[in-house]
Amino acid sequence: MTRCTNCGTRWTFKEKLRKSFSFDRGMPCPHCGEAQYLTWHYRKKSSLITFLMLLLFFLPTFFNASWQAHASVLIPTLIVGIFLQIHTFELTDKDDGDFWNV
């Protein structure tokens, strides 16, 4: 459950989805306006999920599979991956800096 660290208000699925596709480092809380950032721990988990999604997508290539096999792997992988990333959101009120410098 993702809550603002300032006001404690729970973020909706739509707000988390918008943040996940944003390139901005921080995003203001929709309720209090205080800047919220993704935690370093979440960014680490998110990169692992993304790596596993890519691995699963290219797995049929190693078996010389058809495009139908790629599509049957890609669609569920994208749905599960996005669902996992959005439901494991962790917010903080401090900017942890760059991912690789922490």
When pLDDT is averaged across residues 20-37 and rounded to a whole number, the result is 84
- Residue 17 sits at φ, ψ, to 5 deg, of -65, -40
Which stretches within 4-102 are classed as H helix?
13-20, 40-62, 67-87
Question: Is residue 102's pLDDT more than 60?
Answer: no
Q: State the virtual CA torsion across 45, 43, 92, 82 in degrees, nearest 10.
A: -70
Q: What is the pLDDT of residue 2?
A: 81
For residue 4, what pLDDT band results from cuts at 50, 70 and 90?
Answer: confident
pTM of the model: 0.72
Q: What is the pLDDT of residue 1?
A: 62
Burial of 56 (0-12, 13-18, 19+ CB in 10 A): middle
Q: With contact defined as beta carbons under 8 Å apart, do 21 and 2 qualify?
A: no
